[in-house]
A and B are shown apart, each in its own frame.
Chain A
Amino acid sequence: MYGYAGKILRVNLTSSKISTINTEDYREWIGGHGMGAAIWFDIVKDKAITSGFDPKNVLAIMPGLFSGTLVPASCRTQMLGIQVLSWPYEWFGRSNAGGRFANMLKWAGYDGIIVEGVASKPTWINIVDDDVSLNDASNLWGMDTHATQKAIFKEVTGSSGLGDWVKTSGNRLTTQRPAVLTIGPAGETRSRLAVVLTEHGNAFGNGGYGGIWGAKNLKAISALGTGGIEVADPKALLEARLWAQKNYATDYDNPKIWTPLGITTSHFGGYANANWSIDPRSKPTGCNGCHINCQPRTSNGVANEAICGDAMAYRNWEKKVRGTVTEVSAKSVDMAQRLGINSKGFQNWLIYLTILYDKGILGPGREIDTDLPVGKIGEAEFIEDFLHKIAYREGIGDDLAEGFPRAAQRWGRLEEDLRTGILPMHPWGYSIHYDGRCEVYWWYASMVESRDVNMHDFNIAAYRVGQEIASGKTPLVPAKQIADWFGELAPYYDPEMMNFATDNIYSIHMARTTAWLLHYSYFWKHSCGLCSTAFSDLVNPNGLNNRGLTPEAEVRFYRAVTGQKLTFEESMEIGRKIYNLDKAIWTLQGRHRDMEEFPEYMYSVPSIGDTSATVGKPQPYYMPTKVNGEWDYRDVAGRYLDREKVEEWKTTFYELEGWDARTGWQTRASLESLGMQAVADELARHGKLD
């Protein structure tokens, strides 16, 4: 089997038993998420687990099919299992990280790791090729994420130095350090905002998996591999990569500058953005095998690898309050990385704390009594205290570590603050990310998934292209052109998928937009391992007529790696199958149509645009729209959603997926058409199949 290491590591922390699963047994599930979810489904007998902290919860840590090969931007690892961040239900979920781990694990000989049970004492897993051991992590417990990695580097290679040949236990040689996943203090205190971090700043950010590791007494997993991954056609793979880079990637000696909103890197033609770092003497760095290298490495090492929401988590606040951005912002990012806290988990929630403080509700001696210096937000004093309190659950930090919906619930404010919208909540209790009243498919996809879907495919192709109007620029591609490209794109061939006019956002077209995003992501990103910063690539200033390399490149890479022919349409159908497996697990956990809903404020409070970069200042929201037959980018901020029509949309989406519209459950016919008879049988046994 080309593209695979051939076996999946299975570690039971309770019994200390180490075994392997034959990868070939799960080949139909491709790799990454697909394989991880299928194994999870087989191993976990009682799938009605309601908490990620339950000792019965199993974690699958899965590199993608393409990981370990020359396919660009494919060193990604997917973590699966019942999450603890989603609210009010802890759904089966996913999180994903880059760095070096995915490739290192496959080169060590494993297509993934299944972690079961709970260790009796702090433990770390050491993988050096075929040599796998469970080790006492008592000396690592309490260390931050960076110190832990450095200690393990030394333990595994016998040196903290860089670059000389090291002989591994298998008598093989490498110059590389192991790749280490680890939790910091926030994970040890079982925070729902805790990440599993690797390298300086790559992390499984969402889902609260760091807290789950803490509950399992799992401090770290280290992988050092000296093997390789065979591909079916090395020549074709090399030529495909050279073709992709030549025609679609940024030429770092002659870059085309295209920065909608000044920050975009999220497409194959993206490039390192110097603005992610406040250090003028930084350079690009990136994950193993990447062609973009989107992350900064700084001259003092502070906030290395921090981009996007991570880099900006506190910067906008400092700028608003102090009028400038200083090392305070960089150090706050660094501190969050070390403590193992998800920056995206608190970025927008700071708006909420500020509102409660300004209303006289939160503060010393107030209804929510805390000495957290909210009046000094933007200063170092606030963020250091804020992060410290969360990591160690001190004072109000014990509430905040639960995530904000649960904190608001503890404070008795949840219902009111969701109604007024001052609690900026995304579906399933996540921090607001873009705006579902404008960019509706993003929130629809989150609602019918289990978390902030966080897939930027159309966010680039639709929102960010059009949003250039807000800064006085002409969009790179006309709205009609975007629509026409969707008219050529499998499996729906539907230009109306890009019509975000109010009369179209509840339609079958928007159901297809949502389904496309999910099915593409489940196959190509979650299972093959393609990075969401590079794929899909629909708009690309380096491409002919600004068209990106999707779907041509994906199928070309797939064939070179596996030797198997696969059409893009077939890949989308397999993506649908993998998504349906997750759906079955959610149903077995208790999911029903009535639970899939938006926060109350979506139906009554007009959108003020995406304010994450402006800390609350209203913004326009330009999206492609067709009005009176004319395509154009139009500002759709100011609208809110119609509850009845959202319910109609749900019915349309369920029927598109072949599900029962009344319950939102799957049907035997639709599952069997995907070759999922065993899943249908399991649902039927629990009376959850329509």
Chain B
Amino acid sequence: MSTPPISKGYLLVDTRKCAGCCTCMLACSLVHEGESNLSLSKIQVVSDTFGHYPTDVAVNFCRQCENPACYSACPLPDQALCIDEKTGVRYINQEECTGCYQCVEACPYTPSRIIVRPEKNVAMKCDLCQNTPYWEGEGKQACVSICPMKALKFATEKPEGPDGYTVNLRGEGWAKLKFPTD
């Protein structure tokens, strides 16, 4: 596959709405791996208890890059690191992954959005819940569905630039509870 198709799905987040509860992480690892385990979650949330709103939380997930460096770095493209022809979702086939972790190094973001699973010697990443052995999500994303604050959203349009993944999801309901919406 010379020119990879762009993804037809993206995660968006409102970090000013995220409560840092990490429920999305518990759900992500549960639906994919069958256990709640922060180290196996493809979405990584870090909440600073001593932080100041609105810079207290970081929510890190795969951007489904247009030109995915992870895909380019994989020595087994379309076998280990794959792009779904129909949805354009970038995902890892753990059966074929050899654990070279070149995708981990290639990911331009910090922290790397590729997850390392040392005991199985494989890499993992967000597949937008295309393959969830422990959930019949019917096209939904576990993290979006479970977020109690509704701070995550699934979008089909590619966000504009790196900042486009962070959006304002605080509407009238948020204002009704007297929290800032700007």
Contacts and interface: CB of A to CB of B under 8 A. Distances in A.
Interface of B, secondary structure class, is: loop
Given A163-B44, A175-B60, A288 B22 contact: yes
A404 B177 CA distance: 38
Contacts of A227: 37, 39
B46 A283 contact: no
A287 interface: yes
A471 interface: no
A253 B150 contact: yes
Contact of A282 (B17, B110, B119, B179): B179
Contacts of B172: 254
B145 A242 contact: yes
B22 A293 contact: no
A120 to B, nearest CB: 32
A162 B58 contact: yes
A283 B54 contact: yes
Interface in B20-54: 20-23, 26-27, 29-31, 33-40, 44, 46-54
A199 interface: yes
Nearest to B44: A175
A68 B173 CA distance: 30
B146 A69 contact: no
Nearest to B148: A291
A282 B179 CA distance: 7
Give chain B's interface residue range (CB within 8 Å of chain A): 35 or more
B30 A286 contact: no
B142 interface: yes
A229 B36 contact: yes
B106 interface: no
Given A238-B30, A281-B180, A163 B46 contact: yes
Interface in B49-99: 49-54, 56, 58, 60
B35 A234 contact: yes
A321 to B, nearest CB: 25
Interface residues of A, number: 67
A69 B36 contact: yes
A282 B53 contact: yes
A586 to B, nearest CB: 36
Interface string B137-181: 000001001101110000000000000000001011110111110
A173 B39 contact: yes
A207 B16 CA distance: 36
Contact of B21 (A68, A146, A290): A290
Contacts of A288: 21-22, 26
Contact of B142 (A68, A176, A238): A238
Nearest to B45: A175
Nearest to B34: A234
A238 B135 contact: yes
Interface string A88-124: 0000000000010000000100000000000000000
Contacts of A174: 38-39
Contact of B34 (A230, A251, A292): A230
Residue from A149, A177, A252 having most chain B Cβ neighbours under 10 A? A252
Given A175-B60, A285-B19, A70 B30 contact: yes
Nearest to A162: B46
A299 B52 contact: yes
Contacts of A171: 118
A467 to B, nearest CB: 22
A301 interface: yes
A196 to B, nearest CB: 15
A284 interface: yes
Contacts of A150: 50
5 contacts: A280-B180, A285-B47, A286-B19, A289-B22, A293-B21
Given A176-B46, A234-B134, A283-B54, 10 more contacts: A69-B36, A164-B111, A173-B115, A234-B31, A253-B150, A283-B16, A284-B149, A285-B47, A289-B26, A298-B52
